[in-house]
Amino acid sequence: MAKAAIMGYGTVGSGVYEIIKNNAEKLKKNANGEPIETKYILDIRDFPDHKEKHLFTKDFNDILNDSEVSVVAEVMGGLHPAYEFTKSLLESGKSVVTSNKELVATYGTELLALAREKNVNYFFEASVGGGIPIIRPMHQCLTANNIIRIAGILNGTTNYILNQMIKSGQTFDAALKDAQAKGFAERNPAADIEGHDACRKIAILTSLASGLTVDYNDIETKGITDITLDDVNYAAQMDAVIKLIGFAEFQEDGKIYSIVSPMVVKNDSPLSGVDGVMNAIMVTGDCVGNVMFYGAGAGKLPTASAVVADVVDAVKHIERSKKIMWVEPKENIMANSDSKKFAYFIRTTDNAENIRGIFGKCEFVDNIVSGESAFVTEPMSQSDAEEKSGKLKDVVSMIKVLD
Amino acid sequence: MAKAAIMGYGTVGSGVYEIIKNNAEKLKKNANGEPIETKYILDIRDFPDHKEKHLFTKDFNDILNDSEVSVVAEVMGGLHPAYEFTKSLLESGKSVVTSNKELVATYGTELLALAREKNVNYFFEASVGGGIPIIRPMHQCLTANNIIRIAGILNGTTNYILNQMIKSGQTFDAALKDAQAKGFAERNPAADIEGHDACRKIAILTSLASGLTVDYNDIETKGITDITLDDVNYAAQMDAVIKLIGFAEFQEDGKIYSIVSPMVVKNDSPLSGVDGVMNAIMVTGDCVGNVMFYGAGAGKLPTASAVVADVVDAVKHIERSKKIMWVEPKENIMANSDSKKFAYFIRTTDNAENIRGIFGKCEFVDNIVSGESAFVTEPMSQSDAEEKSGKLKDVVSMIKVLD
């Protein structure tokens, strides 16, 4: 019998508890016959009506000091005390699995090294893409590939908002209110709509793909707050949609270009059809080409399903570290922001003649707002695009086009 | 240094050789520092101009009797002698990895049991979906889920043909010729266009998901040879496309319903956007909901990339069986073909009044062929649909609608 503990009894934590209980037979079979049981649930709140209220504790040391507990699901979120707890648990020889993207993106390097040193595991499948299998497939199934590129819809809240704008013609503000009413956006939605959540996730994927720590502070991050219904309608006219994309490209010189930004995504890309709160990650390998992983990027049971899969894997690998890790790079590995060229979709009050004079070759889009010109540039560097657009009379929007 | 052998130097085999050679650094890193090298290539043909012609042998015993060889990639295809070779290798304590769907679908139960008995591995990631990670993600990442359903576009040839019909208005015959000219279809395309290839693959996925042997002979299989341009155009009018779907549903009574059939797929399903030779598999778990895996389902390097990932995993698990397997069921597990209800898209020369009289509630589609009526029924059993449609004056087409 493997004993597990759950730290944090919120949405995901209660899902982890339920799956371990309800799918016990399935888990036992998949853990090579070893039954798995929850022995503790750590939460500062009281749950007096819970059927198994004896499982609850407010004292972390109950878990830390119980030698029977071999794996702990950290689903409390936030950096502290999640960091201190995880560190203590790994040091004491327990495996930890987590859905905490902030913690993995911030302290992953250290915690993964510590897990390896202690011959235990620190798994984080649920930290990116919720229930979507992405961490293991990238690490194991694409292991023969040099990863060239990652482009993902990594945040369900922003995808829902953009989707409402595209499909229902809601303004950004209306779509945000709608998302909040449905529980898809938090009351303070900044972390989502300003791209910070997606940034943590692309940092984790990029670290995993490169084997080197990518500091999320080094990733230029732009959210969707400036996207208007007109932008969305222009995109539709271009047979495209606007999506918030977490993007990384692994360049031949070993440098990594990474950005979080709204992008115009052509409808022939499988990413364009990812609707509602769904997430999808397109990974390009030098052998396999494009593969895409699609599913629920958040939500109680989808996310818990990934956490519990990690619990099962940890149980199967007691005292055997799986060596998923990345290390601090010896030098700066982040590429210059001008090293990747994008085409840009630009709206301006300037006229076609001036636009052509400044940008040379470009493709005009039938304008849907009077007094405007809209066009797509040739691929160019960011500073080139900024310099040129600075010469236009007035720039209404300027959005990267995913190639 | 781990020594590998490759059996069969066709498209996939040469890709395996190239990846092991060209991505050696990457593989070594991912195999926990163990370098991997090809020691033998088995093929009955001569390759006198090959750079490493000393690797080639025509004698299987060279591989079997070399104790240095720990893992063998069987990419020769066909049942014999692939079966005998694989069996001998596993018996002698070598791990085998394969892209051979026919072999896995036919002898998988026995070979997986043998691998387990000998404490080695028999991996088959490349047998379904080519380069798409699907076997491991289903086995490991969705391990907390009871799998409810699998619906996949599992054959690139048929998807290419249907796509040409949809996008370029080619007839079936023209699209098939086009596919043959481009190398996407074989000269004898029966295995693809009649659904047998997809049938082997859904049998493997269904066995994996259930843990029980599913005999592909028990899966009703219908190909795309009857699909006409008119059918495709009707589907477009219904905001849908026609796809060849490998389908399995795991029923609450433990029975499995499985079928390969062309289906009308609504455009709001992510499967509808899977174009060209690409494959995609949608898996529904009781916790995670829908997840989809998308990518190149065939081709030299994509398929080889999955084979080599298996080689790496086998090297990491020398003398440690990973216990992926399924066993013969004690009783018939296949559900009655009437236990799953589908809506049917039907074209007939009969009139609306008769149709309503026979089918009751149904949804008419604007007809695009004069003298025809086209409609979609309510969900009903297959025999019910057949019995009712038998009462119509003349049935032009009858295609299941994916729900």
Q: What is the ipTM of this complex?
A: 0.94
Q: How confident is the model at residue A32, as a pLDDT?
A: 87
Residue A109 · residue A269 · CB < 8 Å: no
From the list A136, A145, A295, the residue facing B291 with the nearest CB is A295
> Look-up: residue for tokens 């000998």?
B118
What 3-state class would DSSP assign to B89?
helix
**Radius of gyration for chain B, computed over Cα atoms and rounded to the nearest angstrom:** 23
B293 contacts A305? CB cut-off 8 A? no
Q: Which residue of B has its CA nearest to A210?
A: B26
* A283-295 average pLDDT score: 97
Query: Is the CB of B287 less than 8 angstroms away from the CB of A15?
Result: yes
Tokens of A169: 């013609």
Would the CB atoms of B287 and A309 count as touching at under 8 Å?
Answer: no
- Token pair, residue B36, equals 């991997």
- Could you give the 3-state DSSP secondary structure of residue A92? coil
> Quick check: A141 and B294 CB within 8 A?
no
Q: Which two tokens mark A126?
A: 């649920």
State the Cα–Cα distance between residues B187 and B7, nearest whole angstrom. 24
DSSP characters over B47-62: -TT-TTGGGEES-HHH
What structural domains does chain B harbor? Answer: 2-130+300-316 (3.40.50.720), 135-296 (3.30.360.10), 343-401 (3.30.70)
pLDDT of the residue at B378: 98
Catalytic residue at B201? Answer: yes
Q: B352 phi and psi, to 5 degrees?
A: -60, -35
Question: Which one of the listed residues B201, B243, B300, B400 is annotated catalytic?
Answer: B201
For the whole model, what pTM was predicted? 0.95
pLDDT digits (tens, 9 = 90+) for A199-216: 999 999 999 999 999 999
β-pairing verdict for A373-377 and A362-365: antiparallel
Q: Which class for B48: exposed (0-12), middle (13-18), buried (19 or more C-beta within 10 A)?
A: exposed
* Pairing state between β B240-250 and B147-153: antiparallel
Average pLDDT over chain A, rounded to an integer: 96
Percent of the residues in chain A that have a pLDDT greater than 70, as a whole number: 100
| Chain B interface test: which of A141, A282, A303 (most B C-beta within 10 Å) | A141
> Under 8 Å CB-to-CB from A61, ≥6 apart: which residues?
none
Is there a contact between B133 and A133 if contact means CB atoms under 8 Å apart? yes
Task: Report the pLDDT value the prediction gives residue B320, as an integer from 0 to 100.
Answer: 79
Distance (Å, whole) CA A207 – CA A200: 11
Q: Which helix (H) or strand (E) holds B6?
A: strand B2-7
Q: Which two tokens stand for residue A392?
A: 């236009």
Distance from C-alpha of B18 to C-alpha of B106, rounded to nearest angstrom:
29
Which has the closest alpha carbon to A129: A334, A314, A274, A4?
A274
Contact indicator for B268, B378 with CB cutoff of 8 Å: no
C-alpha–C-alpha distance, residues A9 and A384, integer Å:
50
Structure confidence at residue B323 (pLDDT): 74
Distance from CA of B37 to the nearest CA of A (A): 13
Catalytic residue, from A39, A94, A118, A201: name it. A201
Å from B270 to nearest chain A CA? Answer: 7
pLDDT, one tens digit for every residue, chain B (403 residues): 999 999 999 999 999 999 999 999 999 999 989 999 999 999 999 999 999 999 999 999 999 999 999 999 999 999 999 999 999 999 999 999 999 999 999 999 999 999 999 999 999 999 999 999 999 999 888 999 999 999 999 999 999 999 999 999 999 999 999 999 998 999 999 999 999 999 999 999 999 999 999 999 999 999 999 999 999 999 999 999 999 999 999 999 999 999 999 999 999 999 999 999 999 999 999 999 999 999 999 899 999 999 999 999 999 988 778 777 899 999 999 999 999 999 999 999 999 999 999 999 999 999 899 999 999 999 999 999 999 999 999 999 999 999 9
d(CA A241, CA A231): 9
The alpha carbon of residue B188 and the mean position of all alpha carbons in its chain are separated, in whole angstroms, by: 19
Residue B326: how many CA atoms within 13 Å on its side-chain side? 24
Q: Determine contact, residues A103/A83, Cβ cutoff 8 Å.
A: yes
Helix (H) or strand (E) holding B358: helix B352-359
From the list A27, A122, A113, A23, the residue with the least C-alpha distance to A71 is A122
Residue B316 has a pLDDT of 92
The closest of A18, A293, A320, A86 to B287, measured between CA atoms, is A18
